[in-house]
Chains A and B, each alone.
Chain A
Amino acid sequence: MVMEYNPAIPLLRPHIDLDNQGFWEAVKQHKLIFQKCKDCGLLVHRPRPMCPRCNSTEKEWAPSSGKGTIYSWVNFVYANAAYPGIKVPYLVVVVEMEEGVRMLSNMYDSKKEDIHIGMPVEVVFDDIADDLTLPKFKRREAETKVIR
């Protein structure tokens, strides 16, 4: 069951700023990247103006494998406590990526019964509007062992 939207109530768009625009531009091209400190190598998500470990402002973008596991989840089932532009039920998940950073996103086409903490997932890009692509996740077969 693919997530369904209510076109009468558009989603809030991401707030693109100087720190995160590289991330969102890559997503538009169906690529997932994370901010990496050029000095100490720390991967950071969400993008920040400064490395929280070494305070360097020199950073680059590192490609992600797109693979991770579900770290936590919630299931929106009651419309009054959900975003009105999305039809319930829908799942929001925190995914722990192979690279060690976490991402907040949706499950693209899963029901609550089909997911659990620790489940392997991989990124999928959902072009939900002309001006909005979101990185979401779907179940994947665990062909590689995810190191935590």
Chain B
Amino acid sequence: MSMFDQYLARRYRTTVRPRPEEYKIKDNVAIVGIGATEFSRDSGRSECQLACEAIKAAADDAGLKIEEIDGLVKFAMDYTDEMHIVSSLGIPRLNYFGECGWGGGASCATILHAATAVAAGAAKYVVCYRGMNERSGRRYGRIPGVEQVMVSPNDHYGSIMPYGFATPPSWVAMFATRYMHEFGATSDQLASVCIVLRENACRNPKAMFYGKPLTLEDYRAARMIVEPLRLFDCCVDTDGAVAIIVTSTERAKNLKQRPAILLGATQGIATQGEMMTSVYRPRISGIPESWYAGQELWRVSGITPKDVDVVQFYDAFSPLIPMQLEEYGFCGVGEGAAFCEGGDRIRAGGEVPCNTSGGHLSEAYIHGMNLIAEAVRQIRGTSTSQVKDAELSLVTGGLGVPTSALLLRR
């Protein structure tokens, strides 16, 4: 049975669990520092400056000197480069660096790559970051005015751009249409997701939508962006940066913060995929990459979804939360939208508290890195929508592209 058939039949079961010594990341690596700039619509600063400010803040948060950073993992999509970052911050040397691809799918992957280096002894303190002027600078989905006939840069773009299938909301909308059709999901159920996340943002003074509550009437009255997605189904384009510092659990004992210890970090690519437009698969009402990343995460960590206390799902668009509730095993196939209806089950006091900082929809869109910072705050007990006694904190990476996931514990 092929992997895709297993996905469709959901028969994938882990029969062989790795011996603990084989998976060296579990319990041995921790996130010890988080830092961020303010989130805004116009930072007025370079992306490199934003990244440096976030990295400095993360080092201060951890109680580390800049000189102690010896590893760095960046987004392939980030416009800054490690040479510039190192020179600007005055980092004396790096002995480990790399980058992770596929847009927001890189978020938890940067932590996996950092953790791998730490667990293998290749680096001691690895910083992962994302800095972007996504609102004032180059916004995704904005096609620059093309005055001359242009050939698509690759076969994938050449298969979608001639039809005007050009922007991220449209790509997710294509999955959403089919999802809503197959499972009878409604836009009001998606509204519940948006409203709960906005409630969380309204408790988070750093959120872009702090102090701006959202009602069902507001949601329904907002303009369509790409039908069936409305304005508030889409994340908030943001200028800002977030940095995360990873080291060993042993070294974490000498640092300032309660460490968020890694139980597992995974990546996932599934077959027959395209970047955000995997419409040729047997089923498009789900996200197999997320399912694979989740299955691997549960396998290496030995944890099951019901043990998880709080989740930060990658939410560039609202339908991705019900879909991930299904793919990560918090509810059955096709039940995600109903799970979100009314919002009680995904609120801070509910069964699966989701995106407690407001997420990409209402806090900020820093390509998944602000979600990781919030997952760490939940472990530290410092979230503005703190889940009481949270011990297990899940965060997921961008999906529809090769994805990643991360599970943290106290």
Using a CB–CB distance below 8 Å, which chain A residues touch chain B? 8-17, 19-20, 45-46, 52, 71-78, 80-86, 90, 92, 94, 101-102, 104-106, 112, 117, 131-132, 134
Q: Would you give 30 A-B contacts (Cβ < 8 Å), ordered by A? A: A9-B145, A10-B146, A12-B150, A12-B158, A13-B162, A14-B158, A15-B155, A20-B155, A45-B280, A71-B279, A71-B284, A72-B174, A73-B174, A75-B224, A76-B164, A76-B170, A78-B223, A80-B142, A81-B169, A81-B170, A82-B170, A83-B167, A84-B145, A101-B280, A102-B280, A104-B159, A104-B160, A104-B165, A104-B279, A106-B164
B157, B163, B280: the one contacting A92 at CB < 8 Å is B163
Could you tell me the distance between the alpha carbons of A10 and B161 in the complex, rounded to whole angstroms? 11
Interface residue tally for chain B (C-beta within 8 Å): 45
Q: Residues of A contacting B277 with CB < 8 Å?
A: 104
Indicate with 1 or 0, residue by residue over B127-165, a CB within 8 angstroms of chain A CB atoms.
Answer: 000000000000001110111111111110111111111
Q: Is the CB of A10 within 8 A of B141?
A: no
Q: Is the CB of B280 within 8 A of A78?
A: no
Q: Is the CB of A92 within 8 A of B145?
A: no
B272 interface residue (CB < 8 Å to A): yes
Could you tell me the distance between the alpha carbons of A54 and B56 in the complex, rounded to whole angstroms? 52
Q: Is the CB of B161 within 8 A of A11?
A: yes
Q: Is the CB of B177 within 8 A of A13?
A: no
Could you tell me the distance between the alpha carbons of A78 and B177 in the complex, rounded to whole angstroms? 17
Question: Closest approach, in angstroms, between the C-beta of B358 and any C-beta of chain A?
Answer: 22
Task: Contacts A12-B150, A81-B141 known; list 5 others, CB within 8 Å.
Answer: A72-B177, A74-B174, A76-B227, A84-B145, A132-B162
Kindly name the residue among A71, A83, A106 whose own CB sees the greatest number of chain B CB atoms within 10 A.
Answer: A83
Q: Is the CB of B164 within 8 A of A92?
A: yes
Q: Residues of A contacting B228 with CB < 8 Å?
A: 74-75
Across the two chains, which residue of chain B brings its CB closest to A88?
B164
Question: Closest approach, in angstroms, between the C-beta of B155 and any C-beta of chain A?
Answer: 5
B120 interface residue (CB < 8 Å to A): no
Q: A83-B164, A104-B277 are in contact. Are A78 and B159 (CB under 8 A)?
A: no
Across the two chains, which residue of chain B brings its CB closest to A78?
B225
Q: Residues of B contacting A11 with CB < 8 Å?
A: 161-162, 164
Q: Residues of A contacting B157 with CB < 8 Å?
A: 12, 15
Question: Closest approach, in angstroms, between the C-beta of B196 and any C-beta of chain A?
Answer: 24
Across the two chains, which residue of chain B brings its CB closest to A12?
B161
Q: A20-B155, A117-B177 are in contact. Are A14 and B167 (CB under 8 A)?
A: no
Q: Is the CB of A71 within 8 A of B178?
A: yes
Q: Residues of B contacting A77 with CB < 8 Å?
A: 223-227
A15, A74, A131, A134: the one contacting B152 at CB < 8 Å is A15
Across the two chains, which residue of chain A brings its CB closest to B272?
A52
Could you tell me the distance between the alpha carbons of A11 and B220 in the complex, rounded to whole angstroms? 33
Q: A76-B164, A78-B223, A83-B164 are in contact. Are A13 and B158 (CB under 8 A)?
A: yes
Q: Residues of A contacting B10 with CB < 8 Å?
A: none
Question: Closest approach, in angstroms, between the C-beta of A77 and any C-beta of chain B?
Answer: 5
Could you tell me the distance between the alpha carbons of A14 and B271 in the complex, rounded to whole angstroms? 23
B166 interface residue (CB < 8 Å to A): yes
Across the two chains, which residue of chain B brings its CB closest to A44?
B280
Question: Closest approach, in angstroms, between the C-beta of A127 and any C-beta of chain B?
Answer: 13
Could you tell me the distance between the alpha carbons of A46 and B163 in the complex, rounded to whole angstroms? 15
Q: Residues of B contacting A75 with CB < 8 Å?
A: 224, 226-228
Q: Residues of B contacting A105 with CB < 8 Å?
A: 163
Q: A10-B146, A10-B148, A46-B159 are in contact. Are A72 and B141 (CB under 8 A)?
A: no
Question: Closest approach, in angstroms, between the C-beta of A96 and any C-beta of chain B?
Answer: 10
B181 interface residue (CB < 8 Å to A): yes
Could you tell me the distance between the alpha carbons of A102 and B274 in the complex, rounded to whole angstroms? 14
Query: Which residues of B (91-114) have their CB < 8 Å from a CB of A?
Result: none
Question: Closest approach, in angstroms, between the C-beta of B150 and any C-beta of chain A?
Answer: 5
Across the two chains, which residue of chain A brings its CB closest to B231?
A78
A12, A73, A102, A134: the one contacting B177 at CB < 8 Å is A73
Kindly name the residue among A8, A13, A17 whose own CB sees the greatest number of chain B CB atoms within 10 A.
Answer: A13
Could you tell me the distance between the alpha carbons of A8 and B145 in the complex, rounded to whole angstroms? 9
Could you tell me the distance between the alpha carbons of A76 and B228 in the complex, rounded to whole angstroms? 9
Q: Is the CB of A117 within 8 A of B163?
A: no
Q: Residues of A contacting B167 with CB < 8 Å?
A: 81-83
B325 interface residue (CB < 8 Å to A): no
Question: Closest approach, in angstroms, between the C-beta of B146 and any C-beta of chain A?
Answer: 6
Could you tell me the distance between the alpha carbons of A11 and B284 in the complex, rounded to whole angstroms? 27
